[in-house]
Structure 1
Amino acid sequence: MDVKGFHLSYCSNIHPGESWDATFQNLKIYIPEVRQRLKAEGPFGIGLRLSHQASLELEKPERLKEFQVWLRQTNAYVFTLNGFPYGDFHRQIVKEKVHFPDWTTVERKDYTLRSFQILSQLLPPGMQGGISTSPISYRHWFKTKEALKAGMETATAHLLEIVEELAKIHKNTGKLLHLDIEPEPDGILENSDEMIWLFKNWLLPKGKHQLSQKLGISEREAEDLIKTHIQVCYDVCHFAIVYEEPAETFAKFESAGIRVGKIQISAALKVLIPPSANGKFSLGKKLQAFAESTYLHQVVARLDDGKLNSYSDLPQALDVLPDTKEKEWRIHFHVPVFLEDYGSFSSTQETISIVLKEILSNPEITQHLEVETYTWEVLPQGTRQSLGESIARELAWVRERMG
């Protein structure tokens, strides 16, 4: 839905189901309900999550036509896709498998190209469209510098194929599409510096000459193509976990010529560590409710001197809690954005408010906003509501914060 010129929606990865039939059925149920709860007028934007399986089914002309008809009848439109999770994302152990297959594989490239072909046919005229994707891979899969370098060589080649295809789509249809890479704790790209490293050390030096030769354009034009069709997905939760300040991060991206294709509005769990042994023991017991087995819940800890320690999952952090001298933990757990605290814990909700103020003062940062809270099923019982009510409440909270 339109909020002050921004496209605001929620990411449909909140709904279980890998087939297109399951995905479409959830949209039919929840899009009308959420719209009604919000009393939203005008076209209603959808942040669509397509699994690999669903994309294979939706690319069939008859299925795509059926969806297009439904969008018109419902007065809805698709402006962004979540192409990060390739396969199953609900009701089973996901953990680091959320990165598989990664950008070193043909499977990831082909799935993304297919998703862009679908988006190009769904996107309304005159509107940009983006697909968020993984931060290249899971860094702990690469045990040596040589392995990482080889992985980055292959991943860069695949990303440049995406740029080439998106340039063709833009030329042939006039529709501007971009791949929005999403830094995440323990991804190869975790923060703004590493996102800039991707462009400076890999995409630009490798791609300028290659695209210039293949497309018959200057290297300056090739650089512009790369920066147009490869952008960043700024997940507020992820950047808050690594303690980045939004204004500084946006300024760094602007200085490097990197665009923000989409902002995913999400909140991380924030915990202040008590100094006493009893306090730490009590905290550890309460945090056990969040140490569930489905998703990775990376922890980034801050010490008094500002240094950061990282843990690949919450259980590893809990193991060191009794003896830690850390002062604060930020935990990769997408808690509801409309709740500021959870009893003994709080969230990084304030960072969302800061981000919204930044984009309101500078709308050129991005126009695509997508609420992404997908862990409702594993949240403590006291924080749960019906799914439709929860989605609407999240969007209403964002809309209110935007004035």
Structure 2
Amino acid sequence: MKVNTGHLTYCTNIHAGKNWEEDFNALKQNFPVIKQTIAPNEPLGLGLRLSNEASLELRNEETLLQFKQWLTENDAYVFTMNGFPYGDFHHTVVKEHVHTPDWTTDERKDYTIRLFHILKALLPQGMDGGISTSPLSYRHWFKNEVDFNNAKEAATLNIITVIGLLMTIHQETGQLLHLDIEPEPDGILETGREFIDWFENDLLVLGTPILTEQFNISTQDAAVHIKKHLCLCYDVCHFAIGYENHEAVLAELEQKEIGVGKIQISAALKADIKGSIAEKLAIKTSFSTFNESTYLHQVVALKKDGSLIRYPDLPQALEDFDLENIEQWRSHFHVPISIKEIGLLQSTQDDITTLLELQKNKPFTNHLEVETYTWEVLPEQIKLPIAQSISNELNWVIDTLA
């Protein structure tokens, strides 16, 4: 739906579909309820998530036409997609395999290109469209600096191929499509700093001469096109986990003319590590209730000297809980954004409020997407039916923006 700073939607990765039939059934069951609650008298957007299998099925002309008709009948539209998880995202152990296949592979490149062709067919006239994606790969798969740098280069070259396709689509149709890189803990790109450095030192350096030759344009024009078609996906949960200064990150992006493709509105878990031994043990126990086996729940601990300790998953952090001089924990567990207090723990809701205030005062993207995908693995005391949960999330964002 159109809000005062752009288009607001929710990501359909909340639904546990493995193929298009399951995805479509979940949409038909839940979307009308959400729309009636949130936007009964105006169009409501969808942040579409398709697995590789679902994307192959939706490329079928008849299937795509059927979906477009359903969108029209339900006053819905698609302007953003989530191309990060390639395979199953529910009811299986995902963990670091959310990056599989990574951007070093043709499988990831071809899947993303397929998604862009689908988005091209669905995108309303006059709107820009974006697809969020993995931050190149999972950094712990590479055991030395040479392997890490080789993977980063191979991934960057595949991304440049996709940018070339987006440039061609823009030339032929006028549609502006952008690939939105989503930094997250333990990705090759996990912070704002790493994303900006990669953009300047890898993407522009490798991409400018390739696109200059491919399109017979100047190096300056090639750089402009790269900045037009490659953006940042600002997942608030991921940036909050790293204790990032949102205002400073956005200021540097603006200064360097690097765009933000969309905000993924999401919250992480946090808690101050303080009090008596018994109080600290209670906090540890509270974190333990979120120690489930489907997704990675990286922890970043803030030390009293301001330095950070990064843990690849919650079990490793829990083993190290008694470490001295720790001031706060933040954990990569997408909790409902409309909830600030969760027993002895809190959410990083304040980070969302800060970012939305920056967006409201000086809009830096047209795309806002609620992305709380963990409903099935949340502790029972904060679970609600899916449609009700998403409606609560969207209403909270609308109220916050207002």
Q: TM-score, normalised by structure 2?
A: 0.98
Corresponding residue of 1:398: 397
Q: 1:5 offset after TM fit, Å?
A: 4.4
Deviation digits for residues 245-265 of structure 1 (CA, Å, limit 9, x no counterpart): 211111011122210000000
Corresponding residue of 1:179: 179
Q: Residue 234 of structure 2 aligns to a residue in which SS?
A: strand
In 2: Cα distance, 1:332 partner to 1:388 partner: 23
Which region of structure 1 is more displaced relative to structure 2, 347-356 or 272-281?
272-281
Asked whether the 8 Å contact 2:129–2:178 carries over to 1, the reply is: yes
Task: Give 1:67-78 correspondences, 5 Å limit.
Answer: 67-78=67-78
Corresponding residue of 1:385: 384
In 1: Cα distance, 2:260 partner to 2:153 partner: 24
Asked whether the 8 Å contact 2:13–2:49 carries over to 1, the reply is: yes
Asked whether the 8 Å contact 2:5–2:359 carries over to 1, the reply is: no
In 1: Cα distance, 2:146 partner to 2:323 partner: 36
CA RMSD in angstroms, aligned pairs only: 1.0
In the alignment, structure 1 residue 137 sits paired with structure 2 residue 137:
yes
Q: Residue 175 of structure 1 aligns to a residue in which SS?
A: coil
In the alignment, structure 1 residue 159 sits paired with structure 2 residue 159:
yes
Number of corresponding residues: 402
Corresponding residue of 1:43: 43
Asked whether the 8 Å contact 2:11–2:369 carries over to 1, the reply is: yes
Corresponding residue of 1:215: 215
Deviation digits for residues 231-254 of structure 1 (CA, Å, limit 9, x no counterpart): 000000000000012111110111
Which region of structure 1 is more displaced relative to structure 2, 318-327 or 142-151?
318-327
Q: Residue 321 of structure 2 aligns to a residue in which SS?
A: helix
Q: Residue 326 of structure 2 aligns to a residue in which SS?
A: coil
Asked whether the 8 Å contact 2:51–2:86 carries over to 1, the reply is: yes
Q: 1:400 offset after TM fit, Å?
A: 0.5
Asked whether the 8 Å contact 1:277–1:322 carries over to 2, the reply is: no
In 1: Cα distance, 2:197 partner to 2:366 partner: 25
In 2: Cα distance, 1:238 partner to 1:39 partner: 29
Asked whether the 8 Å contact 2:84–2:132 carries over to 1, the reply is: yes
Among all aligned residue pairs of Structure 1 and Structure 2, give the percentage whose two residues are the same amino acid.
51
Q: 1:278 offset after TM fit, Å?
A: 2.3
Q: TM-score, normalised by structure 1?
A: 0.98
Amino acid at match of 2:392: R
In 1: Cα distance, 2:139 partner to 2:159 partner: 18
Asked whether the 8 Å contact 1:71–1:77 carries over to 2, the reply is: yes
In 1: Cα distance, 2:42 partner to 2:110 partner: 35
Which region of structure 1 is more displaced relative to structure 2, 122-131 or 66-75?
66-75
In 2: Cα distance, 1:113 partner to 1:257 partner: 25
In 1: Cα distance, 2:86 partner to 2:359 partner: 30
Amino acid at match of 2:361: S
Q: 1:275 offset after TM fit, Å?
A: 4.4
Q: 1:287 offset after TM fit, Å?
A: 1.6
Asked whether the 8 Å contact 1:304–1:327 carries over to 2, the reply is: yes
Deviation digits for residues 290-312 of structure 1 (CA, Å, limit 9, x no counterpart): 01100000001111111111100
Task: Give 1:18-167 correspondences, 5 Å limit.
Answer: 18-167=18-167
Asked whether the 8 Å contact 1:266–1:335 carries over to 2, the reply is: yes
In the alignment, structure 1 residue 253 sits paired with structure 2 residue 231:
no
In 2: Cα distance, 1:204 partner to 1:197 partner: 10
Q: 1:153 offset after TM fit, Å?
A: 1.7
Q: 1:29 offset after TM fit, Å?
A: 1.3
Q: 1:214 offset after TM fit, Å?
A: 1.1
Unmatched 5+ stretches in structure 2? none
Amino acid at match of 2:160: L
Amino acid at match of 2:208: K
In 2: Cα distance, 1:41 partner to 1:143 partner: 54
Q: Residue 221 of structure 1 aligns to a residue in which SS?
A: helix
Q: 1:39 offset after TM fit, Å?
A: 4.4
